[in-house]
């Protein structure tokens, strides 16, 4: 196609930058961080105009936590599972969509390398 523009966004996690209690999960996310940086470096070596971003959200409200905690009814227990476990309001999927749209809207001269997005109540010390 001879196209040399575009944007690749790797959906990573804060666990790719900070090690948490589940070290194996963090190790897989650190691998995504390395893959992103390696891919970006290879594109730059080819003098490509393709942008590469790693988007690393913190806790996002999904059905994962209640299922992980083996709740009887994951759909009805989502809010209480997060509030009881962490004590603060977590990000919503729409927040991540907004972050992706922001990255995609940047001018050609600008590249967002690493975009860490966390809830206002989240800290680096979560375990």
H-helix or E-strand spanning residue 9: strand 7-11
Confirm if 124 and 19 have CB atoms less than 8 A apart: no
pLDDT digits 0-9 by tens, 89-111: 888 999 999 999 999 999 999 99
State the SS3 of 6-54: CEEEEECCHHHCCCCCCHHHHHHHHHHHHHHHHHHHHHHHCCCCCEEEE
Q: pTM for the complete prediction?
A: 0.81
Return all residues near 51 (Cβ < 8 A) that are at least 6 apart: 6, 7, 8, 106, 111, 112
Q: Which two tokens stand for residue 18?
A: 């900070």
Task: With beta carbons less than 8 A apart as the criterion, state whether 96 and 56 touch.
Answer: no
Q: Which positions are catalytic?
A: 25
CA-atom Rg of the chain in angstroms: 17
- pLDDT of the residue at 66: 65
Q: Which regions of the chain are under pLDDT 50?
A: 127
**Are 53 and 16 spatial neighbours (Cβ–Cβ below 8 Å)?**
no
Q: What is the pLDDT of residue 71?
A: 56
């Amino acid at each position: 196609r001879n196209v040399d523009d575009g944007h690749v966004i790797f959906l990573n996690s804060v666990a790719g930058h900070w090690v948490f209690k589940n070290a194996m999960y963090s190790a897989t996310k650190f691998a995504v961080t390395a893959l992103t940086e390696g891919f970006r470096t290879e594109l730059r070596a080819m003098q490509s105009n393709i942008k590469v971003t790693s988007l690393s959200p913190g806790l996002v409200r999904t059905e994962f936590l209640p299922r992980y905690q083996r709740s009887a009814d994951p759909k009805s227990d989502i809010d209480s599972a997060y509030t009881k476990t962490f004590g603060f309001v977590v990000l919503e999927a729409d927040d991540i969509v907004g972050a992706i749209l922001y990255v995609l809207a940047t001018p050609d001269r600008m590249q967002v390398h690493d975009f860490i997005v966390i809830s206002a109540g989240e800290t680096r010390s979560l375990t």
